[in-house]
């Protein structure tokens, strides 16, 4: 199967603010913090790939580099998708609270120029169809994000990403802010959309149980490095590192 993503020897550095302060005070210290260290992996088209690790291990930094939000890095990132999208952990923070849901969902469609520009009635129809696809009533277009539940807001965020006709979606902890019941609903929705649309999903999480339900393969990260990767069943049943074993034990798996 053809790859949609290839990452080779990726290194990302951030400015170390504390060491800059120390240097200003005459103390020694490195200016840069090495966040991602020689990260290499690939991802097949149509695959759901899990990315697991503790907070601060570099998962979100990797996502930003793939999406082009992190410009300064060493290594190679080859993404065979011109319009990658991201679903964030906090759906409220990613939706404009001053705009109604209909306006928010139409906005990426309004931004298309030239021959691909849609008429108003075409945009409305596309938005309505997507709302129904993610399990929401079209009447919610007249509501503001504050008037929706957390699960409804996350469905809107997923709809907004898919309206951009993407083949590649990064889901960064998309269910961690939701209660267990709503988590299960969003997971079922994402699996349904993956099956219907054939999109590739990089699913970032610290929850190994959710990753087991969602993903075909999994990458385990620690301190900016990939320490293990493989099919979910193989990694979970026969982990090759002590760190992965500890994560699985902590999750009672």
Average pLDDT of adjacent 10-residue blocks, the chain of 253 residues: 95 72 48 90 97 92 93 93 91 88 92 72 94 96 95 95 94 90 94 95 94 96 97 96 95 90
pLDDT at 135: 96
pLDDT at 245: 96
The number of residues making up the chain comes to: 253
pLDDT at 155: 96
What's the CATH code, domain 1-84+166-253?
A: 3.40.50.300
Backbone angles phi, psi at 165, to 5 degrees: 55, 50
For residue 53, give every residue at least 6 positions away whose Cβ sits within 8 Å of its Cβ, in sequence order, or none: 59, 206, 220, 221, 222
> Mapping DSSP to helix (H, G, I), strand (E, B) and coil, where does residue 251 land?
coil
Question: Crossing angle, helix 101-110 and helix 120-133, to 10 degrees?
Answer: 120
* Strand boundaries in the chain, DSSP class E: 3-15, 32-44, 48-52, 73-79, 85-87, 168-172, 200-205, 217-222, 225-231
CA torsion through residues 15, 225, 66, 86, sign: negative
pLDDT at 114: 59
Cβ neighbours, 10 Å, residue 201: 24
pLDDT at 28: 45
Question: Which of the 8 DSSP states describes residue 117?
Answer: P
Q: Which residues pair with 236 in a beta bridge?
A: none
For residue 22, give every residue at least 6 positions away whose Cβ sits within 8 Å of its Cβ, in sequence order, or none: 28, 29
Determine if the pTM surpasses 0.75.
yes
CA torsion through residues 129, 130, 132, 136, sign: negative
**Residues 211 and 174: beta-carbon distance below 8 Å:** no
For residue 160, give every residue at least 6 positions away whose Cβ sits within 8 Å of its Cβ, in sequence order, or none: 95, 104, 105, 108
Positions of CATH 3.40.50.300 in the chain: 1-84+166-253
């Amino acid at each position: 199967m053809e790859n949609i993503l290839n990452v080779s020897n990726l290194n990302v550095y951030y400015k170390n603010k504390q060491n800059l302060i120390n240097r200003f005070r005459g103390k020694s210290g490195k200016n840069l913090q090495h966040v991602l260290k020689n990260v290499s992996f690939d991802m097949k088209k149509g695959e759901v790939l899990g990315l697991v690790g503790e907070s601060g291990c570099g998962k979100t930094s990797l996502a930003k580099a793939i999406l082009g939000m992190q410009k300064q890095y060493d290594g190679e990132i080859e993404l065979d998708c011109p319009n990658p999208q991201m679903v964030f952990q906090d759906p409220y923070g990613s939706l404009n609270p001053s705009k109604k849901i209909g306006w928010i969902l139409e906005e990426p469609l309004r931004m298309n120029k030239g021959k691909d520009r849609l008429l108003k009635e075409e945009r409305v129809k596309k938005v309505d169809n997507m709302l129904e696809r993610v399990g929401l009533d079209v009447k919610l277009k007249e509501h503001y994000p504050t008037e929706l539940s957390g699960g409804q807001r996350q469905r809107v965020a997923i709809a907004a990403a898919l309206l951009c006709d993407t083949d590649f979606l990064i889901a960064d902890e998309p269910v961690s802010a939701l209660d267990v019941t709503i988590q299960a609903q969003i997971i079922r929705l994402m699996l349904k959309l993956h099956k219907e649309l054939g999109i590739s999903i990089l699913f970032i999480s610290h929850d190994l149980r959710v990753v087991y339900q969602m993903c075909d393969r999994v990458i385990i990260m620690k301190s900016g490095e990939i320490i293990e990767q493989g099919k979910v069943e193989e990694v979970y049943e026969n982990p090759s590192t002590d760190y992965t074993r500890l994560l699985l034990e902590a999750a009672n798996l």
